[in-house]
Amino acid sequence: MGIIKSSFSFIVGTVCGIYIAQNYNVPNMQKLAKTWIFTAKNVEEKYRKPKKNDDV
């Protein structure tokens, strides 16, 4: 009884997540994350300070 009682919220959350994913138009989070990372890298490269030349 201890395992079921301690993991009840995990099981309910998993079942609700599966139901929502199957019945609603949920965005692909992996694709969204990759898009955000790509955008962040572009912004960083655009606004990065130029490197100093210490070789002189």
Q: Where are the domains of the chain?
A: 2-47
pTM of structure: 0.48
Q: Say whether pLDDT at 55 is over 70.
A: no
pLDDT of residue 27: 84
Residue pLDDT, tens place only, 14-47: 999 999 989 999 888 899 999 999 999 999 999 8
Tell me how far apart the alpha carbons of residues 26 and 36 are, in angstroms, rounded to a whole number: 17
Which pLDDT score is estimated for 12?
Answer: 95
